[in-house]
Amino acid sequence: MYDVIVVGGGHAGCEAAAAAARTGANTLLLTHKIATLGEMSCNPAIGGLGKGHLVREIDALDGLMGRIADKGGIQFRMLNASKGPAVRGLRAQEDRKLYRDAMREELLHYDGLTVIEGAVEGLLFEETVGRKTVTGVETADHTVYKGKTVVLTAGTFLKGLMHVGERKTVGGRVGEISCEHVSDSLAALGLTVGRLKTGTPARLDGRTIDYSQLQKQDGDAVIEPFSYLDKEITTPQVPCYITATNIETHRIIRANMSRAPLFSGQIKGVGPRYCPSIEDKLVKFPDRDSHHVFLEPEGLDDFTVYPNGISTSLPEDVQDAMIHSIKGLENVRIIRPGYAIEYDYVDPVEMKRTLETKKVENLFIAGQLNGTTGYEEAGALGLLAGVNAALKAANDSREFTLDRADAYLGVMIDDLTTKGVDEPYRMFTSRAEYRLLLRSDNADMRLTQKGIDIGCVGKARRDAFYDKRNRLEEAHEKLLSVGGTPRELEKLGFTVNRDGARRTGEDLLSYEGVTWDKLAEVFPVLKGTRTDVAEQLEIASLYKGYLQRQESDIRAFRKDEAMKIPADIDYGKVGGLSNEIRIKLSKFRPETLGAASRVSGVTPAAVTAILGYVKSMK
């Protein structure tokens, strides 16, 4: 009997298994192939805008993705570096093999974790007084594994169906089998199962690309790692290259639209709006003559190149003509055609904020199975599900939840569980209303103590966190201790209003052109401050007024968020609700008054009515 059984060895499964084991659970990870643990099925990159924030949050909670990405990263770039700190996002091009090998090595030697190869084909459950409880899983060879809790992270493997033109192949990704019966188990448990779609481009032989015609894209000269525990990147760095589709490329695609599974009716699932296939781009942006194609190397000793921007499920002959019409790719060898994949997912409104299903006890669901897309979204959800599964298995009454003011992970879970999805969900900074507080540079200060309190953070992370927090406090005290009157500051080279008011170093950092280094030249006590500490204090000083307003907004937000709605509330008895709102609330079953207010169509008047009814119940 295991405390936690994690099904699936993708990014959600890896983080879930490690998090459960870290939280003290005797954990089993069941995966089709141990060799493909942490496989990057699509693009060879980690992070980006919004996604990079999630990686930092995973790392702050002692997860794996940030540290593994640092080991496998072969080009690091801080996106939006010239913009404000809230919207900057770190992205790393990864060596697929280095990333996969590092993840496998980590998991195979993780305390409290057992990894076994096995294709799960069914969930075991028992029913008592109308309540269903998961008790384990059964594999294709009829081996039964019993567990107190189960975390299902099957990615695109539930009834996975790949499309290349008219040709269809059953499988979770190229060369791997599909899980054909788990969806039936989920439906039998009363969960709502839907269908989504994603895709990937062809793979190219980099040795046959004419790079002399292309724009070179180098990484950052000074590399910032993902993990708060890593100080430098030692893996060799390489450039990427940029090309673009053209009028001829678009002519070839348009001439074959009738053969595109996405438009012929062959594909039923809905694809991601923000990562469309090239044929979908031509429909959505008919006036565009070209679209960028980013040629991304898949490894230091691998000549395969990933052409980011031309994901497609067109027939092979069309892909061949399309790709060879692109500048620099006229003579390229295509290693493998692109394809689309359809797969089953569980409606995320079926989940609590802990990612346990509302209808089935002890069953947690994470990753693409929640209706998301992307390694980072999957990993973050897997971590939270793994921690909660471990707590539930230990009969610990605590729940590990994060709200919209805590983390991007909290924003994502709230979006999923209160709104559901009609397309694969992708994280963006624009989804977070408190994004100035939810920066990637301060994820550790926001989340690591929460992880320590709940028990999912190890000693090395704790020590590093306490050291940084102490340094921040000391540096802040020094910052407040320096400064002077307007007359004194003018003598030191600072221009301030002559109002007689003393300015501290913190005040001065909010002035345009004043940096920590400039202050340290004038006030030597500030010299020697660690770079990451100085950066956070610079940001806090510069945006102090805005941050204070956001903190005020958060206090108001948390008043509603603190009001719990009974799980068994009968919305039919709440006066003042329309039938439409009653139906929606009965379906979504929001856990708090704040969550109820974010269900689409629920009016402020309806929220007031629910508040009055809940108070009367008490």
**CATH number of the domain to which 21 belongs:** 3.50.50.60
Asked if 197 and 159 count as a contact pair (C-beta separation under 8 A), the reply is no
The pLDDT of residue 563: 84
pLDDT tens per residue, range 314-343:
999 999 999 999 999 999 999 999 999 999
- Cβ-based neighbour number of residue 53 at 10 Å: 32
Residues 517 and 379 in one domain: no
Q: CA angle, corner 147, sides to 141 and 148, nearest 5? A: 160
Residues 253 and 304 in one domain: yes
Residue 527 confidence (pLDDT) above 70 = yes
Residues 399 and 365 in one domain: yes
Tokens of 550: 């956001």
Q: What are the angstrom distances between the C-alpha of 610 and each of 30, 571, 602? A: 43, 8, 11
pLDDT tens per residue, range 361-382:
999 999 999 999 999 999 999 9
Task: Determine the average pLDDT of the residues in 19-30.
Answer: 98
The pLDDT of residue 353: 95
Asked if 489 and 468 count as a contact pair (C-beta separation under 8 A), the reply is no
The pLDDT of residue 593: 87
- 274 pLDDT band (50/70/90 cuts)? low
Of 601 and 25, more confident: 25
The pLDDT of residue 336: 96
Task: Determine the average pLDDT of the residues in 521-536.
Answer: 93
Tokens of 103: 């993840």
Tokens of 34: 């141990």
Question: If residue 361 lies in a helix (H) or strand (E), which one and from where to where?
Answer: strand 360-361
Helices 408-419 and 375-393 meet at what angle, rounded to 10? 80
- 441 pLDDT band (50/70/90 cuts)? very high
How far is residue 227's CA from residue 381's CA, in Å, rounded to a whole number? 18
Q: How many domains does the chain have?
A: 4
Residue 15 confidence (pLDDT) above 70 = yes
Amino acid 3 reads D
Strands (E) located in 433-551: 483-484, 503-504
166 in a structural domain? no
Furthest CA-CA distance within the chain: 82
How far is residue 520's CA from residue 533's CA, in Å, rounded to a whole number? 14
Tokens of 332: 């390229």
The pLDDT of residue 215: 97
Residues 100 and 135 in one domain: yes
Between 94-103, 112-121, 232-241, 271-280, the lowest mean confidence (pLDDT) is in: 271-280
Residue 483: which region, alpha, beta or left (left: phi > 0; alpha: psi -120 to 50)? Answer: left
107 in a structural domain? yes
DSSP characters over 157-181: -BT-EEEETTEEEESSBTTB--B-S
Residue with tokens 């192939």: 33
Residues 56 and 143 in one domain: yes
Domain of 489, CATH number, reads 1.10.10.1800
Q: What percent of the chain has pLDDT over 90?
A: 71
How far is residue 425's CA from residue 567's CA, in Å, rounded to a whole number? 26
466 in a structural domain? no
Task: Determine the average pLDDT of the residues in 292-309.
Answer: 97
Residue 232 confidence (pLDDT) above 70 = yes
Question: If residue 114 lies in a helix (H) or strand (E), which one and from where to where?
Answer: strand 113-117
Residue 271 confidence (pLDDT) above 80 = no
Coil, strand or helix: which one is 125? strand
The pLDDT of residue 495: 86
Q: What is the mean pLDDT of the chain?
A: 93
The pLDDT of residue 213: 93
Task: Determine the average pLDDT of the residues in 496-512.
Answer: 90
Tokens of 276: 């469309």
Residues 140 and 30 in one domain: yes
Residues 111 and 44 in one domain: yes
Of 480 and 587, more confident: 480
Task: Determine the average pLDDT of the residues in 36-57.
Answer: 95
pLDDT tens per residue, range 245-266:
999 999 999 999 999 888 878 8
Task: Determine the average pLDDT of the residues in 536-556.
Answer: 89
Domain of 571, CATH number, reads 1.10.150.570
Task: Determine the average pLDDT of the residues in 494-520.
Answer: 90
Residue 433 confidence (pLDDT) above 80 = yes
- Domain closes at, from 398, 427, 454: 454
The pLDDT of residue 288: 93
370 in a structural domain? yes
- 498 pLDDT band (50/70/90 cuts)? confident
Residues 93 and 232 in one domain: no
How far is residue 276's CA from residue 161's CA, in Å, rounded to a whole number? 18
Tokens of 513: 């052109």
Residues 77 and 130 in one domain: yes
Residues 551 and 572 in one domain: no
The pLDDT of residue 512: 85
- 484 pLDDT band (50/70/90 cuts)? very high
- Domain closes at, from 293, 317, 338: 338
Residue 275 confidence (pLDDT) above 80 = no
427 in a structural domain? yes
The pLDDT of residue 601: 83
Domain of 252, CATH number, reads 2.40.30.260
Question: If residue 60 lies in a helix (H) or strand (E), which one and from where to where?
Answer: helix 51-60
Tokens of 333: 């060898």
Residues 360 and 400 in one domain: yes
How far is residue 10's CA from residue 325's CA, in Å, rounded to a whole number? 35
What is the chain's alpha carbon radius of gyration, rounded to the nearest angstrom? 26
Single out the residue of 419, 412, 333, 332 nearest to residue 374, CA to CA.
412
How far is residue 160's CA from residue 179's CA, in Å, rounded to a whole number? 7
Predicted TM-score (pTM) of the model is 0.93
Residue 272 confidence (pLDDT) above 80 = no
Strand partners, 144: 138
90 in a structural domain? yes
175 in a structural domain? no
Tokens of 400: 């590990």
pLDDT tens per residue, range 380-432:
999 999 999 999 999 999 999 999 999 999 999 999 999 899 889 999 998 99
Of 333 and 166, more confident: 333
Task: Determine the average pLDDT of the residues in 169-188.
Answer: 85
Residues 221 and 276 in one domain: yes
Strand partners, 176: 173
Single out the residue of 94, 100, 81 nearest to residue 36, CA to CA.
100
> Residues 279, 285, 289, 294: is their CA dihedral positive or negative?
negative
Asked if 366 and 378 count as a contact pair (C-beta separation under 8 A), the reply is yes
How far is residue 247's CA from residue 391's CA, in Å, rounded to a whole number? 57
Task: Determine the average pLDDT of the residues in 184-208.
Answer: 92
Asked if 389 and 4 count as a contact pair (C-beta separation under 8 A), the reply is yes
How far is residue 132's CA from residue 146's CA, in Å, rounded to a whole number? 15
459 in a structural domain? no
How far is residue 370's CA from residue 16's CA, in Å, rounded to a whole number? 14
DSSP characters over 396-456: --------TTT-HHHHHHHHHHHH--SS-B---GGG-TTTTTS-STTHHHHHHHHHHHHT-
pLDDT tens per residue, range 66-78:
999 999 999 999 9
How far is residue 380's CA from residue 384's CA, in Å, rounded to a whole number? 7
- Domain closes at, from 419, 454, 489: 454
Backbone angles phi, psi at 506, to 5 degrees: -65, -40
Strand partners, 124: 136
Amino acid 387 reads V
Single out the residue of 150, 177, 117, 146 nearest to residue 16, CA to CA.
150
* 368 alpha-carbon distance from chain centroid: 10
Asked if 331 and 210 count as a contact pair (C-beta separation under 8 A), the reply is yes
Q: Which domain holds residue 15?
A: 2-154+347-454
Residue 269 confidence (pLDDT) above 80 = no
Q: What are the angstrom distances between the C-alpha of 424 and each of 161, 252, 371, 471, 598? A: 16, 28, 5, 41, 19
Residue 273 confidence (pLDDT) above 80 = no
